Amino acid sequence: MTVFDISSPDQIKDALDWAISEKQSLSISGNGSKESLGRPMEVAAELRLANLSGVRMYEPAELVMKAAAGSSFNEINAVLHENDQQLAFCPPDLGPLLGQGAGLGTLGGVFCSNLSGSQRIKMGAARDHLLGVNGFTGRAQAFQTGSRVMKNVTGYDLCKLVAGSYGTLAVCSEFTFKVLPKPEKLRTVLIFGQEPNAAVITMRDAMSSVHEVAAAAYLPEQIAGRTNIDYVSNANRAVTAILIDGNGPSVDFRLNALRSMFDAQGELEELHSKRSSELWKFVSDVGAYVEDQRRLVWRVSLPPSDAADYIFRLRQQIEDLEYFMDWAGGLLWLSLPEGLEDAGQGIVRSQIRNGGHATLIRASSDIRSRVEVFQPVDVVKARISEKIREGFDPYRILNPARMYSIG
Amino acid sequence: MVMMPKPNEEVIAKRGYLVQRLRQIIRDPEAVIDEEAGLRAFECDGLSAYRQLPMIAVLPETKEEVAEVLKFCASEGVNVVPRGAGTSLSGGALPLADGVLLGLGKFNRILEVDYNNRCAVVQPGVTNLAITDAVKSDGFYYAPDPSSQIACTIGGNIAENSGGVHCLKYGLTTNNVLGVEMVTMDGEIIRLGGKHLDAEGYDLLGVITGSEGLLGVITEVTVRLLRSPQHVTAQLIGFPSSEQAGDCVGRIIAAGIIPAGMEMMDKYAIHAAEEFCHAGYPLDVEALLIVELDGPEVEIAHNNSLIEKIAGDCGASVIKQSQSEEERLTFWAGRKAAFPAVGRISPDYMCMDGTIPRSQLPLVLKRMNELSNKYGLRVANVFHAGDGNLHPLILFDANIPGELEKCEQFGADILKLCVEVGGVLTGEHGVGIEKRDLMGEMFSEDDLKQQQRLKCAFDPEGRLNPGKVFPVLHRCAELGKMHVHNGKLPFPDIPRF
Ligand SMILES: Cc1cc2nc3c(=O)[nH]c(=O)nc-3n(C[C@H](O)[C@H](O)[C@H](O)COP(=O)(O)OP(=O)(O)OC[C@H]3O[C@@H](n4cnc5c(N)ncnc54)[C@H](O)[C@@H]3O)c2cc1C
C-alpha cells in the first residue's frame, strides 16, 4: 500500500480531493504507533502525518499551546519541560504494548483516541484538555472548531466529537490544547498485600478524602512483580498505590495524612518523585503486558465500585486471567490467553453490569476483524453516530470501518 | 433586534386540537397551559429585552411523557423549546409563537447519591445549588457554581455548559458531567455515559453539553461529586490600574499556582458592589482581584506568601487576607451580587460574555472605554480573570427610545473585539438569540454548515429550539449535498515512502 508523507495542510486537502473523486479510502496515522488499535481496514492509501509537526504557538502564562498534529510527544514534552509545564492528562505511550517502539506517539494519535493516563481521575481526559482543532472533513473542506481560550461555548463543542473518533470524522492538522504547571513534587503511598475488594475500598476512601489524590491503582502480586521499582517488584504481594502531587509543604502534609489514614490496612511504603513517575508510567503505559505479545489485552471502563466483583466473576470463567486496576478501580486492564474463542468478548462485555465499556486493545488482525474491537452501542446511538459520520465524511473515505463496520 | 423565524400560521391555526391531544398525553390536565395568564410566566428568560408568549406550555413529569410529547410534536410539525429555570442570559429559552414550551421544572428530584462512585444522579430540574446542598453535610460538593446557582437547573447548565468562579481549577459543566439520559425529537430515549468514565464510540455526551437545547431534551443527569476542600481562604488585592491587575493574574499562573478562583472587578463594579452589600472593598483602586485558594493549610500559606510577593511586585496597593470563613464569604458576596448591584444603579443592564486571551486585557479594556464614550453608555466590568472570561455590564434605559438598540450595538462591538484579539463570542452564557447573528464573526460559512450537520444527525427537521444559535437555517438535505471536484492527479507533490 502507498504511504503518503504529509508535511503541509494543503497536501491533506489534495489527498482528500483525490480520494473523493476516485472513490478511494484512506487510513490516517501519525507515526503508526497505534496502527493495530481498531479494526483492520482495507484502504487505497495511508496518510502519515508525523512530518506535519512543530509547535505553532505556546504561551506558558496563558496555559495554552497549539501544535501540528504529527508532533511527537517527546518534542512537545521537551518544550513544555523548559517552562515546568506538562500535559496534565499524562498521555500514555501504548507503542510498546502494541509491539512498536517507545516515544512514537503523536498529538493526533492521542487526541483522536482520547487516551489518558492514570491522572485522568483528577485532571480529566485528553478530551477535557483539547481547546481547538483545525483540519479537513471527509468532504475535503477546511474545518475549524473551538479556539485558544479556556472558556468557550460558542457553537457545538465539536472538539469533544473529534476526540475519540479515531480519525473517522476529520483529518486534523493542528490542535490547540491546555497545558498546566508540572507539580513540584510527587509522592506515592504503597499499601501492601490487599485483596482486590479491600483495595477498591481503600482507593475509594483515598479519592473521597480531602487530600486531592491524583491517581490510584491496584497491582496484583504478579503484575507488581513486573515493575522495575524494587519496592514494588520485590513486595511479593499485591500493591495498592496512591499518588499525590503539588508543592512541597502540601505534599508532605498530605502524605502523612494518607499514611495515617491507611496505617491499619497493612504495611506501607512511599515512593519519591522519580520512582513515582516511573511507577505511574508503568501503569499508564500498561508496561505489565509488553513482554508477552501473544496475549490479548482488553481495556474496561466501569463504575469504580464494581471493579472487584467484576474481576471475581471474570476469574470464575477465565482461568488464566491477568488484570490490574487504574483510576481507583474505574479502569481495568485485562490480559487474556490467546486462543480464546471470540477473544473473550462475550464474557468481558456481558459481565459489565452497571454501565461501562470494553475495548480490545491488542489482538491479531485476524481476531480484530472478527470481534467487535469497540463496545457495540445501542441502535439509537448507532444511528445518530452514523448520521454524524455522514455529515463529516459522506463517502466514508476516512479510516472506514476502523471503529465499527460501515452501516 | 434579532429577528425570530416567521411563525407557521398553519400550526397556530390548529392550536385547539394540539392542546386537546397534549392533554391526552400528559396525565395532569393542569400541566398543559394555554391561557395567557399562565403562559406569561414563560414569556422570557434572563435576556428580558426579548419577550414572546409560547403557543402552548407543557410541564411533563416523566421521561415517557417527554418522549410522547416530542413524538407528537414531531408528527404534527410543531417546534419545541425546552426550558429549565429560565435564567439563560442569551435568550436560549425564549419561547416561539408557534411552538410548545417544554418546562422541565417538575423533574426536581435527586434520584441517587452514590459516594462509592462519587457521583449523584439527579433530574434535570434540580437546581445547581440543591445538588451541593444534598451532599454538603457529608463533606462533598458539585464543583461548577454559576452565580445563578440558587435558581438555575442542572439541565440548563448542561445545555449551556455553564461555568462558575471555580471553573479555573475544577472545570466547566462538561468536565463534571458523567452521564445523561436524553430524549430525541422523535421520542427515543437514550443514555449517554453513566457512572463510568469516557464514551464508547463517539462522545455524544460531549456534544450534548453546551448544545443549547437544540439536540435533545435532557431527562436525567449523573454528575461528579468532589470532596470539599479542607480549608479555603480568599485575598482581596487592589491595584492602581487594570494593567497591573492583569499582569498579576498572568504571573500567579506562570508561577505554577492555579487558584480555586481568580476574579477581577473594575472601579465601576467595585463601587456598585460595595454600595450594595458592604463587602469591605477598597474604593481607591482601579481594579480589584479576589483570589481564592483551597487545600491544606500549609499549601494555602505557601501559595499565599508567593501571591503576596507577586502582587507586591506588580504594584498592588491593597492586600487583604480573609481572616475567617465569614469574611471570605463577605469578599465573595460583593462579586456574586455584582449583577444586581449594577442593576440597582441603572434601570437596565445587559451582560456580555466574551472570552479573550488574558494578555489582551489592557488593550480590550482601553478599546471598551473608547466604545463606551462613542455610544454614550457606561460599562462596568466583572471578569473571570483566571480564564479570560469577560462580563462587561452595559448600563442603559430601555424606556429611552433607541437605547436598547444602541446597547446591543455596543455589545456586538465588544464581542467582535473579543474575536479580533483571538477570543470568542461567549465563554459560558451561550449563543442563544443574543449572539446568533454574530456567529459569522467567528466561524466561516463552511464551519457553520458543519455544525448544522451535527444538528441534522439528531433533529433533521429542525424542530428543537429553532432560531437559536445559527443565523441561517439550512435544510438538512441541502447540507448533505456534496460538490465533487474533478479528479485531480493523485498527490502530485506529496512524497511517498
Ligand atoms: C444573575 C445571573 C447570573 C448568572 N451567572 C452565571 C454564571 O456565573 N455562569 C454561567 O455559566 N451562567 C450564568 N448565568 C446564566 C444561566 O444561569 C445559565 O446559563 C444556566 O445554566 C441556565 O439554566 P436554566 O435552568 O435557567 O436554563 P434555561 O434558561 O431555562 O435554559 C437555558 C437553555 O437550556 C435549554 N434547556 C434547559 N433545560 C433543558 C433540558 N432539560 N434539556 C435540554 N435543554 C434544556 C433551553 O432550551 C435553553 O436553550 C447567570 C444568569 C443570571 C440571571
Residue B57: Cβ within 10 Å count: 24
What are B36-71's pLDDT values in tens digits?
Answer: 999 999 999 999 999 999 999 999 999 999 999 999
Q: What is the pLDDT of residue B83?
A: 98
- Closest to B384 measured CA to CA, from B413, B325, B322, B427: B427
Q: Which residues of A touch B493 (CB under 8 A)?
A: 11, 14
Instruction: Could you please state the CATH topology (level 3) that the domain comprising A185-284 is classified under.
Output: Alpha-Beta Plaits (3.30.70)
Q: Give the fold, CATH level 3, of B347-420.
A: Alpha-Beta Plaits (3.30.70)
CB A325 within 8 A of CB A133: no
Q: Do domains A185-284 and A287-370 have the same CATH topology?
A: yes
Under the banding of pLDDT at 50, 70 and 90, the label for residue A404 is confident
Look at residue B181 in the predicted model and tell me its pLDDT.
98
The rounded Å distance from CA B159 to ligand 1 centre is 7
pLDDT above 70 (res A1): yes
Q: What percent of chain A shows pLDDT beyond 70?
A: 100
Q: Which CATH architecture has domain B231-340?
A: 2-Layer Sandwich (3.30)
Give me the half-sphere count of Cα atoms (radius 13 Å) on the Cβ side of residue B309: 7
- In this model, does residue B203 exceed pLDDT 60? yes
Q: What is the mean pLDDT of chain B?
A: 95
- How sure is the predictor about B418, in pLDDT bands with cuts at 50, 70 and 90? very high
Tens of pLDDT, residue by residue over A21-60, are 999 999 999 887 778 889 988 899 999 999 999 999 999 9
Nearest to B230 by CA among A253, A375, A98, A247: A253
Residues B306-333: tens digit of each pLDDT? 999 999 999 999 999 999 999 999 999 9
Long-range contacts at B2-7 (CB < 8 A, ≥ 24 apart)? B2/B50, B2/B91, B2/B433, B2/B434, B2/B436, B2/B437, B4/B52, B4/B94, B4/B96, B4/B97, B4/B433, B4/B467, B5/B96, B5/B466, B5/B467, B5/B473, B7/B96, B7/B97, B7/B98
Scanning A261-300 for CB atoms below 8 A from B yields none
Domain covering A47-181, topology: 3.30.465
Give the residue from A1, A156, A253 with the most B CB atoms within 10 Å of its CB, the best one to mutate. A156
- Domains of chain A, by residue range, sit at 47-181, 185-284, 287-370
CB A300 within 8 A of CB A334: yes
pLDDT in tens, B260-311: 999 999 999 999 999 998 999 999 999 999 999 999 999 999 999 999 999 9
Where in chain B is CATH 3.30.43.10?
9-103
Atom of ligand 1 nearest to the CA of B159: 34
> Which residues does chain B have within 8 Å of residue A152's beta carbon, measured at their own beta carbons?
355, 424, 426-427
Q: Which residue has the cell 452514523?
A: A386
Question: Which phi and psi angles does A186 have, rounded to 5°?
Answer: -120, 145
* CA–CA gap between residue B130 and residue B143 (Å, rounded): 12
Mean pLDDT of A160-165: 96
Q: CA B468: distance to chain centroid? A: 14
CATH superfamily of A287-370: Malonyl-CoA ACP transacylase, ACP-binding (3.30.70.250)
- Confidence at residue A234, expressed as pLDDT on a 0 to 100 scale: 94
Of B200, B205, B427, the CB nearest to A151: B427
Parallel/antiparallel/unpaired status of strands A185-192 and A239-246: antiparallel
Q: How confident is the model at residue B482 (pLDDT cuts 50, 70, 90)?
A: confident
Distance B88 CA to ligand 1 centre (A): 4
Q: Identify the residue among B180, B196, B437 best suited for mutation to test binding to A, counting A beta carbons within 10 A and taking the highest.
A: B196
Q: How far is the CA of A211 from the centre of ligand 1 (A)?
A: 32
Q: Give CA–CA dist A175/A54, Å, rounded.
A: 11
Q: Predicted confidence band at A138 (pLDDT cuts at 50, 70, 90)?
A: very high
pLDDT tens-digit map of B22-39: 999 999 989 999 999 999
User: Which of 3.90.1300.10, 3.30.465.10, 3.30.420.40, 3.40.50.1100 would CATH assign to domain B110-227?
Assistant: 3.30.465.10
What are the start and end residues of each CATH 3.30.70.2740 domain in chain B? 347-420
State yes or no: pLDDT of B490 exceeds 60.
Answer: no
Please give the share of chain B, as a percent, with pLDDT higher than 70: 97
CATH 3.40.640.10 describes domain B9-103: no
- The whole-angstrom distance between A230's CA and the closest CA on chain B is 31
